[in-house]
Amino acid sequence: MFEMNEKHKELFIRKSSRTAASYLRRIKELSDDIESVSPFLEALKKIYVDFEPVHSCDDILVGTLCALIPNELIYAAGAKPVRLCSGSYTAYSVGDDAVPRDACPLTKAIMGFVETQSLPIYKDCSLLAVPVTCDCKKKLAGLLGEYMPTIILQVPSDKVSDDAVSRYSEELYRLVRELERVTGNTVTRQSLLGGIQTVGRAQYEMSRFAEYRKHTPALIHGTHTMAVMNAYSYLSADTWADLMSELNDELEERKQKGIFAEKDKNPRIMVTGSPIAFPNMKIPLLIEEMGGILAADETCMGERGIYDPTVVIDTSFDSMMRALANRYIRPCTCPVFSDNRQRLYRIKQMIKTHQIQGVIYHVLRGCLVYDYEYTIMEEELEKLDIPIIRVESDYNEEDVEQLRVRIEAFIELIKLKNLKNSKKR
């Protein structure tokens, strides 16, 4: 086990805090003057800048490493879920010594925070739930088991068949038993229904927000949206839903008054690919600092993680467990699944509904499951005459200027294309 003396730990916290504060400052500079965004940014500040817990000392925390883990089950067991996916370059630098060089930066950042035991949400977890969605996650789960109780869930490669749903339902039953052991609480039919309703309320507010995000001109900057979505990882579903309700009400008011996030018709960009985890917000920031508007994202740290509600027809325990298994694998567009045509359909649908004019395909270095699908995506979007660019990045700041040049050129290309189209009319 890695050990860090107090002096080095203090330097680590100071550097990590300074980097997160810098990103928050840049996010705030994209001012929409939307007051309801502030509580979400404050939650991220409390965790990554102040290094303070966002939970009470009586809460039982269960860490997750993927959107495939049902938060409903964790709430049903009387615990609170926190998603430990991080975009911290400082933690990445520490974790770089613990995992192979070519491992993805997200796994390195997670390992860095776990080893230093500096961030409360990591060191206070009573259990960690890890679905096997890639080789890095599989090996990471083994390492993390040395630091905290860890349960590994096997994800079927097929998500369409009834057999796949049944197999994942069995995995969720294993998770229930482990949650009951850790919390000392029994997951009952009533508590499970309550957990589904708790998350369902957040999903309802998400569905309201998704409609406002389609608006042209944009009502809110996409970078602010990504911060709001990241805050869901750390706030309780009830708290997040309350804050989201206030944000939706404010967006409705701005819509009625004609107050928009953009003065001109900036190119509407979609981001898809590898997750964008705070504080590594350089891609969204560069898009909007270079004159684009991040109008949609198809990432697991964004809208995808929460947009589909669990459909409950039969409220028996077994039926609700199967409904959760069905919800978490069938609508999921993660490339971990062998047949991922649904992801292409989803992205094409979002291009149409969000009036997208260009797609940035984000690949974290070493994230092979997403990189594998870029060629297919490029071919399909070419048929739609939608420009797409592959952007590979890491958590460090060394590639920022190179990314800035490429993203700016991509946005200028879209502006030129739009100008030519307008002259033809």
**Which string of b and e fits 140-160 if b means at least 16 CB within 10 Å?**
bbebbeebeebbbbebbeebe
| Range of weakest confidence among 235-249, 266-280, 292-306 | 292-306
Give the CA dihedral 267, 270, 273, 279, nearest 10 degrees. 80
Residue type, 383: K
Closest by CA position to 411, among listed 387, 391, 392: 387
Res. 7: pLDDT tops 90: no
Cβ atoms within 10 Å of 67's Cβ, excluding its own = 23
Structure tokens at 35: 């007051």
φ and ψ at residue 41, rounded to 5 degrees: -65, -35
State the pLDDT at residue 83.
Answer: 94
136: its two tokens: 């890095």
Asked if residue 386 lies in contact with residue 356, where contact means CB atoms within 8 angstroms, the answer is yes
Q: Which has more confidence, 341 or 41?
A: 41
Packed helices 317-329 and 162-183: angle between N→C axes, nearest 10 degrees? 110
Q: Give the model confidence (pLDDT) of 299-309 as tens digits.
A: 999 888 787 88
Is the pLDDT confidence value at 77 over 90? yes
Evaluate the CA torsion angle 139, 144, 146, 151 in order and state its sign.
negative
Chain mean position to CA 44 = 13
Q: What is the pLDDT of residue 425?
A: 64
User: Using an 8 Å Cβ cutoff, are 27 and 281 in contact?
Assistant: yes
Query: Around Cβ 219, how many Cβ atoms within 10 Å?
Result: 21
Q: For residue 62, give the nearest of 230, 198, 180 by alpha carbon.
A: 180
* Distance (Å, whole) CA 425 – CA 103: 50
Q: What is the rounded distance in angstroms from the CA atom of residue 289 to the CA atom of residue 293?
A: 9
The span from the CA of 33 to the CA of 49, in Å, is 22
> Among 154, 138, 83, which Cα is nearest to 329's?
154
Question: Structure tokens of 275?
Answer: 């997750």
pLDDT value at residue 243: 98
pTM of the predicted protein model: 0.94
Burial degree of 215 (CB within 10 A; 0-12, 13-18, 19+) = middle
Least confident of 64-73, 96-105, 296-305, 416-425: 416-425
Output 342 or 199, whichever has higher pLDDT: 199
393 three-class SS: strand
Among 187-196, 258-267, 347-356, name the one with the lowest average pLDDT.
258-267
Angle between helices 237-257 and 189-213 (to 10 degrees): 20
CA R_g for the chain: 21
What token pair was written down for 270?
A: 């979609």
Residue 368: its pLDDT value, please?
87
Q: Count CB atoms within 10 A of the CB of residue 133.
A: 21
Rounded Cα gap, residues 55 and 120, in angstroms:
9
Alpha helices in 152-218 (DSSP H): 162-183, 189-213
pLDDT 10s digits, 137-186: 888 888 899 889 999 999 998 888 999 999 999 999 999 999 999 999 99
What's the whole-number mean pLDDT along residues 98-107? 88
d(CA 167, CA 160): 12
346 CB neighbour count, 10 Å cutoff: 17
Sign of the C-alpha dihedral computed for residues 164, 165, 166 and 171 taken in this order:
positive
| Structure-token match 């974790």, residue found | 95
88 in Cβ contact with 279 (< 8 Å): yes
